[in-house]
Amino acid sequence: MKTDTHPEYHTIKVKMTDGTEFETRSTWGSEGDTLTLEIDPTSHPAWTGGGQRLLDKGGRVDKFNKRFGGLSLKKKEG
């Protein structure tokens, strides 16, 4: 096997957006560094349920209906 192919793991602190901290092992940074998160499971819309868009509001179909809703396919008599 080749030597020195695996990354160096060390202990770092991770600081969440709410201020809580925990220690974990990582290849990020160096021993004892603190990784401050901007987005985490306590604040991200994917986990909190916020920021969901409804598909019928402002979607492509709604835009189409607003633009062409008054048109009809009636035959002209003449």
DSSP labels for the chain? --SS-SPPPEEEEEE-TTS-EEEEEESSSSTT-EEE-SS-TTT-HHHH-TTPPPTTSSSHHHHHHHHHTT---PPPP-
More confident residue, 1 or 69: 69
How far is CA 23 from each of CA 6, 15, 30, 33, rounded to the nearest angstrom? 21, 9, 13, 10
Q: What is the pLDDT of residues 21-69, one digit of tens each?
A: 999 999 999 999 999 998 888 887 777 776 555 555 567 877 888 888 8
Per-residue pLDDT for 70 more than 60? yes
